Amino acid sequence: MIKIDVKSKYEKDEPDEVYVAPEVWTTTVRVHDPVVEEWNGIRSYTSYAVSVETTYPQFQGTHFMVRRRYNDFVWLKAQLQRHIDRQNRKRPIERLPDLPGDTVGSFFGWGRFDEAFIEKRRRGLQEFMNKVANHPHCATQVAFIRFCRDDDMQPLIEFFQM
């Protein structure tokens, strides 16, 4: 049996460098555990647990869980949109995802606490948050990081009003 061992003059016997995969930063968001909050015995709003797992160093941690209501997500989208609008880019920036819609009935309280409505909104909020987490101009934006990390929204809102 004849063994043919053909090598190019540029090929070496052993590689000089070993390939190292680049560090990939990811953020995964899970919106879960909706709770209808009451105030003076009257159902007022629904809050959602927001769990975040991330490898971005800007978060200064890897796992977070906060509780947010729909208005907080509306605030976040407005902050991110303001951040994008302030940037003067030559190329168009990827549009922010939409929040799950509000209905006239939910605005006035009809059906706002219906299980099907709450679940549909929860799924929409989770989709919104994961799209924001993967948006090239929002994934490391301070408002998004603090929204996912800080328990209390009031100091966060005041910080961004300055």
Residue 106's pLDDT band, with cuts at 50, 70 and 90, is low
For the chain, the C-alpha Rg in angstroms (whole number) is 23
pLDDT of 97 above 60: yes
Closest CA to 50 of 40, 60, 62, 63: 63
Q: Which residues of 44-79 are buried (b: 16+ CB within 10 A; e: fewer)?
A: eebbbebebebeeeebeeeebebebbbebbebbbeb
Quote the percentage of the chain above a pLDDT of 70: 80
Residue 109's pLDDT band, with cuts at 50, 70 and 90, is low
pLDDT of 112 above 70: yes
* Residue pair 53/27 in contact by the 8 Å Cβ criterion: yes
Question: What global pTM score does this model have?
Answer: 0.80
Residue 123's pLDDT band, with cuts at 50, 70 and 90, is very high
Residue 13's pLDDT band, with cuts at 50, 70 and 90, is low
Residue 32's pLDDT band, with cuts at 50, 70 and 90, is very high
Whole-number Å distance between alpha carbons of 64 and 25: 16
